[in-house]
Structure 1
Amino acid sequence: MKKWVVLLASVLLVVTGAVGCSSDAGQKSQEDSSSGSATVSISFWTLNTGWAWLQSAVEDFEKANPDIDVELTQYEVDPFKENLKVAASSKTLPDMWFTWGGTLGSFYPENGMTMDLTQVAKDHKWSERYNQTAIDMSTYDGEISGIPLHLNVLGMWYPKELYQKLNLQAPSTFAEFESQLQTLKDNGVTPLAFGSKGGWHTMRLTEQLLEHFAGPELHDKLNNLEASWNDPAVVKTFEKIKEYTDKGYFPRGYSSLDPSEAEMLFYQQSGAIINEGTWFDGNITENGFDPAQFDVFKFPTEQTPARASVFVEMLQLNGSSDPAKQEAALKLGEYLTSVEVVNKFIDDYGSPATLGFTVSDKTPHVQPLIDSAKDGGFLITDQALPQEVVQKLFEAQDKVALNEWTPQQAAENMENAVSAYKSKQK
């Protein structure tokens, strides 16, 4: 009987050819009584939200591959990150795991923990199967280190009924956006349903403000640590965070509010706007609501190009696993990301990195969000910056909100964090 721990996961491409599996001395295996072949057991770690399709997909895979046993473990987002760190330090990483791109995913190849998939990508013609941007975002120092899973685009979501009640429409300029925030507040609605526990939820607004005030060129230089963070555009960004906090645009005590709690305010329409991505139709459905009751707009800025926040999610393979386990994990990863699997579970899937998938009527906002990035995108901040600098940004957001740092001090502390990081790289 297959062993299940909990679940999360990924979907994307079609498997080409059978992959042989063999038993090894440290490998958990058992004889299949009908075929006499050894069973390869692989461990797979994922998140626990937005993946209702995964168990069925893995069961299908196991039926088609009786010589492979998949053990799934699921976590909430922040515990997942922490457990991966612990596993990496103790050299107990699973055979395959979900992760994000940028500096979150780069940690593992940079430290020699992942299987190099560059040749696999050539042999299996990944360029014909996955969005090239997703492949590029899964590549570090010329080495493809993950199977592309999702290509995500973020936007500003709002309840249609609430906007109609207040005679509001999606704003097309930054001035209109700020005017709406005040209108919502005047009508007893918390304008921004954001929770800053963990930092990343409010970060999504911070990065949009920075894109607006700094412009694309400077924003990229800041993320690449090629410009000083003690810059007027950074100060202006933190000033807006403080202004929005002081005006009550965020929920009370939002610095310690869990994003999932803030999401509930959004569904109850006591909170108006939430910054989420192409996966959010699934979240809405899972919480018992109809995605058609909501809509999304691109963060309004007069910058040219008007870029969206984007990021990739992928599946990485353990570079230290037995070859048989690596082959089995690769086979699973490519199966879960095949267009056939994506289309079968598209109602729950989100925003595939796979090419040629069919958009579901149950996820009506995926295509508009993808289209919103047609003029370009910037890599989401917690994947663009080194993680120790990301943590300083999270701290700066909170301290500005709590009046412990001025916006100027926040910018200075960001620059100090960048300098400290750079000095360690010499």
Structure 2
Amino acid sequence: MNRQRRWWPLAGLMACVLGAATGCATSAGSPEAVQGSVSGPIKPRPITWLNSRPSDGPVIKAVAEVAAEYGKSHPGFKLNIVSTPDRPSYLQKVEMLAAAKKLPELFDEDATPFAEKLRKQNRLVDVGNLLEEFGAKDRFRPLALQYQQFDNGDIYGLPLEFAMEYFWYNKEAFQRARLDQPKTLDDFIASCKPLRAKGYIPIALDGKDGWPLERYLAYYPFRLHGNDFVKNLKKGDAKMSDTAGKSGAEFISRLGKAGCFADGFSSAGYTDATDLFTTGKAAMINDGTWDLGLLATDALPKPMRHNVGYFPLPTTPGAVTGPGDYVVSSGIGMAVNSQKFDPLVKDFLKYLVAHYPAKYAAFGQLSPTKDTPTEIPPGATPVYGQVLREADRLGKQTAKPWDTELDPTTNNVVQQNLVLLAQGNMSPREFEKSIDQAVTVNSPRYFAK
């Protein structure tokens, strides 16, 4: 046995004995810190949370309230909240800070290939272990935790949200076009031409941000293969030109040929898309329950207030996922930097886990914890409560968004070429070839064989 290795445990024991008067503290960045096992005195100081969220959104408001309360009993503590809502800019900032080893104590991060690299470098705290130690893990909705899992099942992001994604539709538009809710993905495409004929844009789409259209690419593969296809694709163990990949590419091409999206959709942002739907110009929009305040309250223009319905992701013959399985997310998680993890950060996180859910639910949002009822706001339409009850009827798996699975460079290629595919400027075969080439070149930097 290596003598130096034999000395480390003894040295640690002696340090604890020598430090018995003040308590044996473990250091930030240590293996213990990665497991969330730091100890020692709590010394209040300012810490920072770098995030990619709207600064006036319910997540930030709820976290800020909790931090202010914690600060009252811990003079000297302050949570500096630094927001970069533009996701591409935020991701670039995180990569630069990570390269310079200057990430703050807390930062937003999905369970992406980039985050996997940080995990392998022991730069993230195991949040799953923390929640176990806090006695809080069983409070969380299983799908909220599942969304944060890495491929090995570990959790390195604290869930702060819980949202189901649905297709919201204009009931009057469907009645005028003599359409029922689509039951299959083929029905979904077939609804576009009748809606166009009645003067509606069939689907409002935020084309500028890339990920909304990428959701559509994932739907056929998820129905036919669950999440297995994208998890194999990202490593090069499957190809976009395989049957599963072809089904996704052809779905996008067919949506474009059927005139499902607005002309010029690629330059439309989030607000443009929601405005098209809430003003009655578009018949459908794919959106999450985070937008219930826009879709199911008196914030809607009066003609639309009782004219909004919703349906889940349609299925398809041969589907291996059930009707209750669709995109259910807990949002981008709060990652914890092991290099700056100390007793103060740990104590604040314990306080946050205990007090955040109720404050978040008070904003009319679904909490990531199953024991925290949502406060339905004044002016809510009946749809608000109906959608909240869907949380009790969900399946056992969530469709993982592809933008959190693919390596960053391949994901950029996917999003850029999806627009061309939907516009008819690229064929499905050309699209498949471009993605397979991108995976071959880029995935080895993130996924070791």
TM-score by shorter chain over 0.5: yes
Q: Deviations over 1:246-297 (max 9, x none)?
A: 3432111222322332221111121121112231213547993287653321
Question: For 1:217-366, what aligned pairs fall within 5 Å after superposition?
Answer: 218=229, 221-222=232-233, 225-284=236-295, 288-289=299-300, 293-302=307-316, 303-306=319-322, 307-313=325-331, 314-321=333-340, 323-331=342-350, 333-338=352-357, 340-343=358-361, 345-347=362-364, 349=365, 351-362=366-377, 363-364=384-385, 366=387
Do the aligned partners of 1:241 and 1:401 also contact (CA within 8 Å) in 2? Answer: yes
Do the aligned partners of 1:255 and 1:401 also contact (CA within 8 Å) in 2? Answer: no
Aligned match of 1:410: 431
Q: Once the two structures are aligned, what percentage of the paired residues are identical?
A: 19
Aligned length: 389
CA distance 1:246–1:106, shift in 2 (3 Å): same
Q: Which moved more, 1:364-373 or 1:39-48?
A: 364-373
Do the aligned partners of 2:173 and 2:200 also contact (CA within 8 Å) in 1? Answer: no
| Residue 105 of structure 2 is aligned to residue 95 of structure 1 | yes
Question: For 1:72-87, what aligned pairs fall within 5 Å after superposition?
Answer: 72-78=81-87, 79-87=89-97
For 1:123 and 1:268, locate their aligned partners in 2 and report how far apart those are by CA, in whole Å: 48
Do the aligned partners of 1:87 and 1:93 also contact (CA within 8 Å) in 2? Answer: yes
Do the aligned partners of 1:154 and 1:309 also contact (CA within 8 Å) in 2? Answer: yes
1:120 alignment partner AA: L
For 2:106 and 2:130, locate their aligned partners in 1 and report how far apart those are by CA, in whole Å: 16
CA distance 1:161–1:372, shift in 2 (3 Å): farther
The structure with the greater share of residues assigned to strand is: 1
Match of 1:50 among 57, 74, 78: 57
Do the aligned partners of 1:40 and 1:69 also contact (CA within 8 Å) in 2? Answer: yes
1:62 alignment partner AA: G
Question: Cα offset for 1:62?
Answer: 3.1
Aligned with 1:144: secondary structure?
coil
CA distance 1:179–1:143, shift in 2 (3 Å): closer
Aligned match of 1:207: 218
Question: Cα offset for 1:97?
Answer: 2.2
Question: Cα offset for 1:324?
Answer: 4.5
For 1:331 and 1:377, locate their aligned partners in 2 and report how far apart those are by CA, in whole Å: 27
Aligned match of 1:3: none
For 1:203 and 1:213, locate their aligned partners in 2 and report how far apart those are by CA, in whole Å: 17
CA distance 1:287–1:321, shift in 2 (3 Å): farther
2:371 alignment partner AA: G
CA distance 1:370–1:419, shift in 2 (3 Å): farther
2:68 alignment partner AA: E
CA distance 1:246–1:136, shift in 2 (3 Å): closer
CA distance 1:205–1:360, shift in 2 (3 Å): farther
Match of 2:185 among 174, 178, 193: 174
Do the aligned partners of 2:58 and 2:363 also contact (CA within 8 Å) in 1? Answer: no
For 1:120 and 1:394, locate their aligned partners in 2 and report how far apart those are by CA, in whole Å: 35
For 1:359 and 1:374, locate their aligned partners in 2 and report how far apart those are by CA, in whole Å: 20
Q: Which moved more, 1:277-286 or 1:226-235?
A: 277-286
Q: Which moved more, 1:70-79 or 1:166-175?
A: 166-175
Question: Cα offset for 1:368?
Answer: 4.9
1:158 alignment partner AA: Y
Do the aligned partners of 1:309 and 1:379 also contact (CA within 8 Å) in 2? Answer: yes
CA distance 1:239–1:173, shift in 2 (3 Å): closer
For 1:264 and 1:105, locate their aligned partners in 2 and report how far apart those are by CA, in whole Å: 34
Question: Cα offset for 1:380?
Answer: 1.6
For 1:57 and 1:214, locate their aligned partners in 2 and report how far apart those are by CA, in whole Å: 41
Aligned match of 2:142: 132
Larger Rg: 2
Please, what is the CA RMSD of the aligned residues? 3.3
Q: Deviations over 1:75-95 (max 9, x none)?
A: 224233333223222322222
Do the aligned partners of 1:399 and 1:405 also contact (CA within 8 Å) in 2? Answer: yes
Q: Deviations over 1:187-214 (max 9, x none)?
A: 1111111122231011111111333466
CA distance 1:219–1:38, shift in 2 (3 Å): closer
CA distance 1:372–1:77, shift in 2 (3 Å): farther
Q: Deviations over 1:344-372 (max 9, x none)?
A: x241x3x3221212134344354355356
Do the aligned partners of 1:192 and 1:250 also contact (CA within 8 Å) in 2? Answer: yes
Aligned match of 2:413: 392
For 1:203 and 1:374, locate their aligned partners in 2 and report how far apart those are by CA, in whole Å: 22
Q: Which moved more, 1:62-71 or 1:260-269?
A: 62-71
2:102 alignment partner AA: T
Do the aligned partners of 1:171 and 1:177 also contact (CA within 8 Å) in 2? Answer: yes
Q: Deviations over 1:295-354 (max 9, x none)?
A: 32112113243331233332111212162442354245324544x4344x241x3x3221
1:60 alignment partner AA: E
Question: Cα offset for 1:400?
Answer: 1.6
CA distance 1:176–1:368, shift in 2 (3 Å): farther
Do the aligned partners of 1:43 and 1:70 also contact (CA within 8 Å) in 2? Answer: yes
Do the aligned partners of 1:158 and 1:295 also contact (CA within 8 Å) in 2? Answer: yes
Q: Deviations over 1:184-240 (max 9, x none)?
A: 111111111112223101111111133346677656644664322212442343233
